[in-house]
Structure 1
Amino acid sequence: MNTVVQHPSHDELARRGRGRSLSLRHAAPSLTPAQMEERALIRRSAVARPEVDAFREIRTRLLAMTTNNFVALVAPVSAGCGGSFVARNLAAAMAFDETRSALLIDCDLRHPSQHATLQIDCAQGGLTDYLEDPDGQIEDVLYDTGMPGLSVLPAGGVREAGAEYFSSMRMRLMLDSIRSQHPDCYMFLDSPPVRGAPEARILADLADVVILVAGYGQDSPEAIAQAAANFDPEKFAGVVFNQGV
């Protein structure tokens, strides 16, 4: 899977009501097309858009690889190549389907960005807060994005290392619980870069499929090959070449 995607351009959001799979205590008003543009989110339109079609094509390929709802790891080769952009919009593309919902989980604990990009006030905490509190409830740290069917679990407090969090039993149980209780929910893990830290490899053990993101003109073929070698070939879905970040 070698796909080039660019930042979204202007198109219109198809805003039809739908039920939500997850129980969300932090509701948000529906986003306007302009607000989705500000948040670098793709949106449906009657007009064909190459960037939207690219994410839909990746979504179709991922669905063909699995038989049930899945956990997908989106791992950038290096910092600044657009891994968070790709993870966010793959989740958005999944939410286009009214029979499915998507949960975006920010796992970049050193440099979390999804809550800021999506302009979400995560005062109630996020992933690290939930994992550190044995009595915490997952509903407390799930946030509505304002896009139908798309919710986010922000990273929470900044942490220098995520290995202990991601290898914990509580992390695994959280993913298993969401998947079993919400069979229409697909989860996308926004990973730290593969190069320079072990977190992406640890998160890959929790995922069903792995998507590698390379910066178009930024990451060399050798760097991409080295990053891909970290993952189980049976889980590896392919490389997305991202440009315009």
Structure 2
Amino acid sequence: MVGTVQADRHQNTVHVVPEAGQKIARSVQDLNTVADAWHSLATTDLDSVTLEKDRIVGHLSGGEAHHFDMMRTRVLQQMRQNGWRRLAITSPTAGCGKSTVAVNLALSLRRQAEVRTVLLDCDLRRPSLARMLGIDGGMNLGACLRGDQEFAATARRIGPNLALAANREPALDAGEVFGGRYLPLALAAVDETFAPDVMIFDTPPMLLTHDLMSFAGHVDCVLLVAGAEMTTVKEIDLCERELATQTNVMGVVLNKCQHIGDGYGYDAYE
């Protein structure tokens, strides 16, 4: 029996208390199981040419990455203080650079060796993360969130501690996916199997669809990305008020990035 030995000096007896030892054993076993799950994910490399074209710098040290490292520090501090692990990143409208912020923050977190990060492209109608990172392949996060595929089958591991799950094609049933009964189960399965310290969700612009408001109750906090000289104070106030009814607003990022890849747009939304 695994346990702790305690002596009773008055009765000259010895008692074995198994609970403490068994808890330690289970903890080690859980850590090994999580490590195995991460190790089993298919790996992918980043394309440096694509990263540069899309202004992705979070994988670098110093230079332009400094701003995202500062964001990383503040995000981690606030999430740890509040016991938060799920962070959604959104914007009032298209073109504010929310996906660029999400990718750069995730890659900056990747350079924190002790932090396990999962990045999910939940902008199902206009997926962009796989393209921005130069990753080919049949990733289909939508199938995972519908319950048709396990997370491990669609995710790719970038280095030892960052997992990405994205979509190569738009999902026409995004509204049904976000409002579906399986969505919380899928997210809970990722939590249970991979035990990420931070989950980042790149989500649709708030004022163009109802998708984020269907999803907001599943995250702990939201970071709102505003585009310089394009997002109005009225739009920011409206988004903050609506988000506050379902989750915590971590803050607003003023983003001056003007580059959005060809073909990216929300004109088809009604």
TM-score norm. by structure 2 comes to 0.72
C-alpha separation between the residues in 2 aligned to 1:182 and 1:168? 22
Corresponding letter in the other structure for 1:113: S
Moved over 6 A (4+): none
Whether the 8 Å contact between 1:129 and 1:157 is mirrored in structure 2 is no
Matched, 1:43 2:59: yes
CA contact under 8 A between 2:43 and 2:157: conserved in structure 1? yes
The 8 Å contact of residues 23 and 139 in structure 1, kept in 2 or not, is answered as: no
Q: Counterparts of 1:20 and 1:99 in 2: how far apart (Å)?
A: 16
Pairing partner for 1:22 from 33, 38, 53? 38
**Higher-Rg member (1/2):** 2
- The DSSP-based 3-state class of the residue aligned with 2:209 is coil
Contact 1:75 1:211 survives alignment (8 Å) = yes
1:105 aligns with 2:108: no
- Unaligned 5+ runs, structure 2: 1-34, 259-270
What's the offset of the Cα at 1:131?
3.1
Percent identical pairs in the alignment equals: 25
2:206 counterpart of 1:194: yes
Give the 3-state SS of the residue equivalent to 2:236 in structure 1. Answer: helix
Could you tell me how far 1:32 is from its partner in structure 2? 7.2
Kindly provide the CA deviation profile for residues 194-243 of structure 1, in whole angstroms up to 9, marking residues without a partner as x.
11211111221111110000101110111111122111276110001111
Q: One-letter code of the match for 1:52?
A: A
CA distance in 1, matches of 2:240, 2:37: 33
Compared CA separation, residues 190 and 20, structure 1 to 2 (3 A): farther
Alignment of 1:82-101 (within 5 A): 82-101=97-116
Question: How large is the Cα RMSD of the aligned pairs?
Answer: 2.5
Measured in 2, the distance between the counterparts of 1:65 and 1:181 equals: 24
CA distance in 2, matches of 1:196, 1:36: 27
State the partner residue of 1:76. 91
Q: Which residue of 2 aligns with 1:66?
A: 79
2:157 is the alignment partner of 1:144: yes
- Report the count of equivalent residues: 220
**Match of residue 236, structure 2, among 209, 216, 224:** 224
Match of residue 3 from structure 1: none
Separation (CA, whole Å) in 1 of partners of 2:176 and 2:49 = 39
Question: Which sections of structure 1, spanning at least 5 residues, go unmatched?
Answer: 1-18
Equivalent residue letter for 1:122: G
**What is the rounded CA distance, in whole Å, between the counterparts of 1:171 and 1:198 in structure 2?**
16
Aligned to 2:142: 128
How far did 1:118 drift? 1.1
Residues 86-128 of structure 1 deviation map (CA, whole Å, 9 limit, x = unaligned): 11111112111100122111111111111111111232x4111
Between 1:229-238 and 1:107-116, the stretch displaced more is: 229-238
User: How much does 1:73 deviate?
Assistant: 0.3
Q: Which protein is richer in helix relative to its size?
A: 2
Q: Which secondary structure state, in structure 1, belongs to the residue aligned with residue 137 of structure 2? A: coil
Q: Partner amino acid for 2:243?
A: F
When residues 32 and 201 of structure 1 are mapped into structure 2, their CA distance, relative to the original with a 3 A threshold, is closer
Farther off after superposition, 99-108 or 33-42: 33-42
TM-score normalised by the chain length of structure 1: 0.79
Cα contact 2:58–2:105 (8 A) shared by 1: no
Larger relative contact order (CA 8 Å, sep ≥ 6): 1
